[in-house]
Chains A and B, each alone.
Chain A
């Protein structure tokens, strides 16, 4: 091999090309990654569900406050609302609300426990317990809400 020796081209080119940071691969586009539970564990499921139900409950809070504004407008407006609110379809949404409260609340209790150093090696068992308790309570609530007629 023979290359004519001139000014030293050096390694500047190599180094400067590496100064830029390469693209960062992500498992999913932005916040979708929070809810991507494919090939993930129970903890990720709990986190995803917690986030989903949390956002859902905030949405419900404002919906609830908006609906209650009908109370400002007196009895008639309220009775109109009650007419819709006591339909089967609407009551199913109430069951969904209870589900959200139970999922978020019980998992929140679990997070408060492990976040303060309690039962950290049993986080999965804790979550399973939450699921069992939550399911029982949800069934009870659903029977009560839907079984009124």
Chain B
């Protein structure tokens, strides 16, 4: 059986089901992680709006459990975001070359995002 004659079969980036499974998987994980993040930041704090003071924030990230959860949250949310952006960008009907470039660009952006986040959490945790 031959597939269609366009570039369908020769498409370079092998995303296929993996991207969908990852998007769905990280999405479900985020339901839990976002809930924890939101509750911890907004709903357990007495102050109006639930925002923490500077010390509260430092204490919070210094807690090893919270530290790990926040790091995981950062990674998962970044993966989910990059996959979401990829899906939106690919819907423009990009050429194979543009797809490869998009993939590389998003990986780079994701790595930068996670690196920045880790740096932030690390610095704050060290200040506590």
Bound complex: CA A31 to CA B120 (Å) = 35
Q: Which of B31, B34, B88, B113 contacts A55 (CB 8 A)?
A: B88
The interface bits of chain A over 64-87 (1 if a CB of B lies within 8 angstroms of the residue's CB, else 0) are 010011011011001100100110
Q: Does any Cβ of A come within 8 Å of B105's Cβ?
A: no
Query: Which residues between 34 and 54 of chain B lie within 8 Å of chain A, taking CB atoms?
Result: 34, 38, 42-43, 47-51, 53-54
Whether B51 contacts A115 by the Cβ 8 Å rule is: no
Interface contact A82-B113, CB-CB below 8 Å: no
- Number of chain B interface residues as a range: 20 to 34
Q: Write out the residue numbers on chain B whose beta carbons fall within 8 Å of the beta carbon of A34.
A: 91
Q: Which residues from chain A contact B81 at a C-beta distance below 8 Å?
A: 57-58, 61
Residues of A with C-beta under 8 A to B27: 105, 108-109, 111-112
- Once A71-B57, A79-B54, A98-B38 are accepted as A-B contacts, the answer to whether A112 and B28 lie under 8 Å apart by CB is yes
| A71 vs B84: C-alpha distance when bound (angstroms) | 28
CA distance A90 to B49 in the complex (A): 9
| B28, B49, B54, B116: most-surrounded residue (chain A CB, <10 A) | B49
Known contacts A65-B117, A111-B24; A86 and B57 CB within 8 A of each other: no
- Cβ of B124 within 8 Å of any chain A Cβ, yes or no, is yes
* Bound Cα distance A108, B83 (Å): 13
- Select which of A65, A101, A105 is within 8 A of B120 by beta carbon: A65
- Residues of B close to A145: CB separation below 8 A: 42, 49-50
Point out the residues of chain A lying under 8 angstroms from B24, CB to CB. Answer: 108, 111-112, 115-116
A94–B49 CB distance below 8 A: yes
Of chain B, the residue at the smallest CB distance from A78 is B54
Residue of A nearest to B61 (CB): A71
Binding site for B on A (CB under 8 A): 30-31, 34, 51, 54-55, 57-58, 61-62, 65, 68-69, 71-72, 74-75, 78-79, 82, 85-86, 90-91, 94, 98, 101, 105, 108-109, 111-112, 115-116, 144-145, 148-149
Question: Can you list 15 A-B pairs with a CB-CB distance of less than 8 A?
Answer: A54-B88, A61-B77, A61-B78, A65-B116, A69-B120, A71-B120, A72-B123, A74-B54, A91-B48, A105-B27, A109-B31, A112-B27, A144-B50, A145-B42, A148-B48
Given known contacts A65-B113, A148-B49, A149-B48, what 14 new A-B pairs fall within 8 Å (CB)? Answer: A51-B88, A54-B84, A58-B85, A61-B78, A65-B116, A72-B123, A78-B57, A91-B48, A91-B49, A101-B38, A108-B31, A109-B31, A112-B24, A145-B49
